Amino acid sequence: MLSLEKIKRRLESAGQSHILQFWPELCEDERDAFLRELSQLDLDGLRAHCEAAALAAASPDQASVDQHIEPVPKEDIGSVRKSDKRSLEEWENEGLLQISKNGVGVLLLAGGQGTRLGVKYPKGMFDVGLPSSKTLYQIQAERIHKIQELANKKHGSNCTVPWYIMTSEFTLAPTEKFFKENNYFGLEPSNMLMFEQRMIPAVTFDGKVILQGKGKIAMAPDGNGGLYQALVDNNVLQDMEKRGVEYLHVYCVDNILVKMADPVFIGFCVSKGADCGAKVVEKAYPAEPVGVVCRLQGVTQVVEYSEIQPETAQLRGPGGELLYSQGNICNHFFTRAFLQDVAQKFQGQLKQHVALKKVPFVDTCGNPVKPTKPNGIKMEKFVFDVFPFSRSFVAFEVVREDEFSPLKNAEGAAGDTPTTARRSLLALHCRWATGAGATLLDQHGNVLPPTASQPAGDNPPAQCEISPLVSYFGEGLEQLLKGRTLQTPFILDEEGAKELSAH
């Protein structure tokens, strides 16, 4: 820990002396805690960080990309809908083979605070109201169980898919506690590695570090692109190497439909010799506010929807399809070798993005203030900022209804709420059940039409939930459900599956 004198000198040279303005008012314990926090700060880089934040917020980069934009070449895109059945099977087999050889790990981005969702705990602990009351973390843990089981069954192996979980200062302790209390949902704790991303100070528009309390700086995670620094800080790449993990599937905590270590996606990327890949969904409409995976002057990247002119967003190809339709869903494939390259060579070149936020602070008298409009700048990096460094990039288009339904907002918002997430999963499971030959009944015993699996308007899908421990992507259900009539609400868990297979 640095001495008060050293910290004082460094803060002065960074133009941030105000950070210690309430020092005389702090008690001994508060002073110790504050000194510890300040000692962990990159004090030498503080001036540059604050100046860069103020400059970026004052002059946002609004350069139009339209003259340089081009679609990802067709030969670098796979698709669940458009690729032939044989290719999909080959990719799935390749993916399961790599999983069976302990060559695949999954990495969860879970550092966000869930502010928009309105909860004070990590998003992964959220229960969206499923009949089973399962949280996002439990659903994901069970999918890992199942994919290991499928790979083992096919290849007679005893494989492990290690689960790396990137948290932040806000989410690490509650996440660790939650998994411990739930016995890691049956997973082996030694195959789960939780680690923290770095935190960086929030800054005012005139480049001053914001004080959250008299002895506390307002800190924020450095965005999901902080992953690459965190891999180095926490020796994650060494752990992957030790385990023989060659391929990593990286995804965001809030997608209730995410397929952990999806063998089709992994197999496609491996077959193509890709070092970097992205799952994408077709944009619902030209102006949908999602980033687009495309090329700029021959370099693959994600371009934010706000950076593309409306007329460019509406361009269509010869078959009437949108030319720039590949919506980014934060679901990526990386080789370990590529991540090693990023860590060693490209770390310092990652772009910084500006986020204007309402940051609680103390005024000059030390009174706490909750701002009603943005008063601070948080600088973030994004996980997709490494795409331009890829030597062999591919995109894999999946069906939105099957694979993407993020939980971002509290109830009452226009979309991406607990209700939309719950309905998406139940609708998917209804399609699986009816596709396997089952007939679903409502609570009055009436046969539900096939449209019951569509979560449209005010008509929620039937309450039919299938545990990931029973089926990973709808496989194996025909032998259990064909010709059966199922009264909803209906939960098919492992016990239920055993009973059905016994009859």
- Region 218-228: what's the mean pLDDT? 90
State pLDDT tens for residues 436-446: 999 999 888 88
| Confidence class for position 61, pLDDT limits 50, 70, 90 | low
CATH 2.10.10.100 is right for the domain spanning 418-502? yes
Say which range, 213-227, 391-405, 468-482, has the weakest mean pLDDT: 213-227
Q: Is the pLDDT reported for residue 451 higher than 80?
A: no
63 — pLDDT class (breaks 50, 70, 90): low
- In whole angstroms, give the CA distance from residue 257 to residue 415: 15
What CA–CA distance (Å, rounded) separates 140 from 253? 9
In the numeric block, which tokens belong to residue 94? Answer: 């390749």
- Scanning the structure block, which residue is given the tokens 């540059």? 48
Over residues 234-254, mean pLDDT: 97
Would you say residue 484 has pLDDT above 90? Answer: yes
Residue 480: pLDDT band with limits 50, 70, 90: very high
Q: Which amino acid is at 492?
A: L
Mean model confidence pLDDT for the chain: 93
Q: Using an 8 Å Cβ cutoff, are 425 and 309 in contact? A: no
Burial bucket for residue 447 (CB in 10 Å: 0-12, 13-18, 19+): exposed
Reported as a single tens digit per residue, the pLDDT across 102-130 is 999 999 999 887 778 989 899 999 999 99
Is the pLDDT at 85 greater than 90? The verdict is yes
Q: For residue 177, which of 132, 122, 128, 219 has the smallest C-alpha distance?
A: 122
Say yes or no to pLDDT of 450 above 70. no
Phi-psi bin for 437: left (phi > 0), alpha (psi -120 to 50), beta?
A: left
- CA 277/CA 439 separation, integer angstroms: 39
Termini Cα distance of the chain: 67
C-alpha to C-alpha distance for 397 and 82, rounded to whole angstroms: 9
d(CA 287, CA 282): 12
214, 366 Cβ separation under 8 angstroms: yes
Q: What are phi and psi of 115, to 5 degrees?
A: -60, -45
Q: How far apart are CA 373 and CA 299, in angstroms?
A: 37
Q: pLDDT at residue 306 above 90?
A: no
CATH of domain 69-403: 3.90.550.10
Answer left, alpha or beta for residue 128, where phi above 0 means left and psi between -120 and 50 means alpha: alpha
Residue with tokens 């694979």: 403
Contact 416, 284 (CB under 8 A): no
Mean pLDDT, rounded, for 385-399: 97
Quote the crossing angle between the two packed helices 172-181 and 136-155, to the nearest 10°.
Answer: 60
Asked whether the predicted pLDDT for residue 456 surpasses 80, the reply is: no
**3-class secondary structure per residue, 263-319:** HHHHHHHHHCCCCEEEEEEECCCCCCCCCEEEEECCEEEEECHHHCCHHHHCCECCC
- Please tell me the total number of residues recorded for the chain in this structure: 503
Residue 201 pLDDT greater than 90, yes or no: yes
Bridge partner residues of 77 (DSSP): 395
Whether 440 and 488 have beta carbons less than 8 Å apart is answered as: yes
pLDDT tens digits for 137-186?
A: 999 999 999 999 999 999 999 999 999 999 998 899 999 999 999 999 99
CA angle 142, 329, 398 (to 5 degrees): 75
What does pTM read for this prediction?
Answer: 0.92
Which residues, including other chains, have CB under 8 Å from residue 330's CB and lie 6 or more apart?
Answer: 109, 224, 251, 252, 255, 383, 384
Please give the pLDDT value at position 315: 92
Q: How many CB atoms neighbour CB 131 within 10 A?
A: 14
For the chain, the domains span 69-403, 418-502
Q: Other CB atoms closer than 10 Å to residue 307's CB: what's the count?
A: 18
Preceding peptide of 489 cis, ω within 30°: yes
CA distances from 76 to 109, 126, 337, 483, 503 (A): 26, 36, 20, 41, 47
pLDDT at 448: 86
Mean local confidence (pLDDT), 27-52 = 91
- Residues sharing a CB contact under 8 Å with residue 29, sequence separation 6 or more, in sequence order: none
Q: What is the pLDDT of residue 351?
A: 84
Q: Does residue 26 have a pLDDT over 80?
A: yes
d(CA 41, CA 23): 17
Residues 6+ apart with CB under 8 A from 230: 166, 195, 196, 197, 198, 236
